[in-house]
Chains A and B, each alone.
Chain A
Amino acid sequence: PRPDVHPLPPGTHLLYAQSGRIEHVPLEGYEMKKDAGKAVLHLPEKVIIGVAYDCVEKMVYWTEITSPSISKASIQAGEPTAVITSDLDSPEGIAIDHLSRTMFWTDSVKDHIEVASLDGSQRRVIIDTDLVNPRAIVTDPPNGNLYWADWNREAPKIETSHMDGSNRRVLVKDDLSLPNGLTYDSQSSLLCWADAGTHKLECTHPSHGDRRKVIEGLQYPFGITSFGKNIYYTDWRRDAVVAVDRHAGKESDMYQPQKKTKIYGIATAYAQCPAGQNYCAVN
């Protein structure tokens, strides 16, 4: 193991990308253990954007834009392995379906959404129309749904489809501006987004079509992730990870790493895969 990287101790963690590093901060309950935040991976030549976590193999996956690629590494301070290195221009958001062992990503130059097996094989474009600035993407593995956000300044939107790209529909298009971050919590079936233009954090149950504001006055959210009643977002203005209590509707905590530079994607590294409907576990 490298001296500048640290294997993740057991428990739930937040993983976030900052300045060529994937860092983690452990969660104790909902509390960020700020003094225990450390680098999981140091990739000094890279600009890491999207981060996703595979709870089955305990691997972190990320997108990188300097030499556009998608890579993975074990959170036990494993060596990075490139998964996809060709035909990428500007990969941004990345999401994992831990049940079907696939990953999805957006490319903001190619303006499309792709899927591939976690080893990079069986790669395929599933959405390639009506996308301008696709960024965030998340999965709902038990129900086989995919959600993504496009921050196109002329017509921002949040969309959904099945995991093969079929049954595509617009979920939200009104009162959006720069929906940078998107997260789906399978326990509550809530899809939440952080908007850097309206400065709001809002949620919807995709199957009900309701819409609820959690909090307004966010500064400059980029990535978001959920864990139980909390939502954590990365803030470009404060170079911080901010905790929002979804029930109380207020910011409950903030973690500012020493390094003062933009924090990009964030993901929750669960101690175990989320419980609930899991058709693979039944078989």
Chain B
Amino acid sequence: NALIGTPADCQHCPCPDRTSCAEIAQTGQVVCTNCPAGQTGIRCQMCEDGYYGDPLGQSGSARPCVRCDCNGNVDLNALGVCDHLTGRCLKCLGHTEGEHCERCQRGFYGDALNQTAVQKCKACSCSPGGTSGYVNECHPHTGNCLCLGHVTGRDCSYCEMGFFNLQPGVGCERCRCSPIGSAS
């Protein structure tokens, strides 16, 4: 307030990079009106939508506002894709999950970080007859299901060489071919 008549009438705006501010008459509260790019809030302490960080270090050490990092697993046309403070991704797509959409959801496998794959995370879809686990339980990267004895294939859908007759809950039987009459 320039009308009081003391040397401290006009003070610097408490805003980053000497940006402008305004004082609310009733409350005396000072609000920054031109925060630097990517920043917003009364003191420019917050990151804009699509960015995260803690530019003034209000909850720990200061971190500049940077773009949400969701490993390409969020839609650029979506809003509110990450938490503006922690950066936790809130709208992971394509069956990905995690702080940065960095892994496949349970029941899916693949490489959530592969930027070229059409489908990064595929359903486990284990063969119900050949798995000893659940049909939606597989190795998160390879997709290998838990197979019954002498059953093989990523999804446990067929018998190992030398075995036949896949029986649900049991597995495959050894071939009993006569060594004299067999070609192999």
Contact = CB atoms under 8 A, between A and B. Distances in A.
Taking residues whose C-beta sits less than 8 angstroms from the other chain, chain A's interface range is 20 to 34
A240 B33 CA distance: 18
Interface stretch (B20-28, B99-107, B134-142, B153-161): B20-28
Taking residues whose C-beta sits less than 8 angstroms from the other chain, chain B's interface range is 20 to 34
Given A2-B22, A42-B31, A262 B48 contact: yes
Contact of A20 (B37, B41, B75, B80): B41
Nearest to B27: A2
Contacts, number: 67
A90 interface: yes
A107 to B, nearest CB: 11
Interface in A1-37: 1-4, 19-20
A98 B24 CA distance: 32
B24 A2 contact: yes
Contacts of A151: 77
A65 B79 contact: yes
Interface in B78-127: 78-80, 84, 91
A258 B32 CA distance: 15
A66 B45 CA distance: 14
Contacts of A95: none
Interface stretch (A43-51, A113-121, A158-166, A200-208): A43-51
Nearest to A261: B48
A85 to B, nearest CB: 17
Interface string B33-52: 11101101110001011100
10 contacts: A2-B22, A2-B25, A19-B48, A45-B40, A45-B41, A108-B79, A151-B77, A153-B75, A261-B40, A261-B48
A42 B77 contact: no
A44 B32 contact: yes
A178 B77 contact: yes
A92 interface: yes
A191 B75 CA distance: 26
A66 B31 contact: no
